[in-house]
Amino acid sequence: MAKLEEHEGERWPEIRDGILQAIGGLPDARLCRSIGAWKSEVHAVGVPFVPRDGSQVLAFNCGGPAFMVDLKKLEEEFAPRLVAMVRRIDAALFNG
């Protein structure tokens, strides 16, 4: 967050609020959502992959144009599937 604050400068309060909103309000704290926050016409959910070996963090996401994305399906079907996929990747890489 400190690096983002430095990068965003005067926009930081707005960006910070968006980040906090994105990671709240969903039953699974391992994911975040952006419902028109990044771009008003885009709805998406995202899940971080934090490798246990300390290598670079990756983000997996699913979304699309707001007029085509069913929010209930995005949050109740696609988000849990995305979380499960990241868990399977972690298991394959570090338990295999």
| pLDDT (tens digit per residue) in 54-86 | 999 899 999 999 999 988 999 899 999 999 999
Q: What is the pTM of this model?
A: 0.69
Q: What is the DSSP string of the chain?
A: -HHHHHHHGGGHHHHHHHHHHHHSSSS-TT-EEEESSSSTTEEEEEEEE--TTS---EEEEEEEETTT--HHHIIIIIHHHHHHHHHHHHHHHHT-
| pLDDT (tens digit per residue) in 11-58 | 889 888 877 776 665 555 577 888 887 778 899 999 989 899 999 989
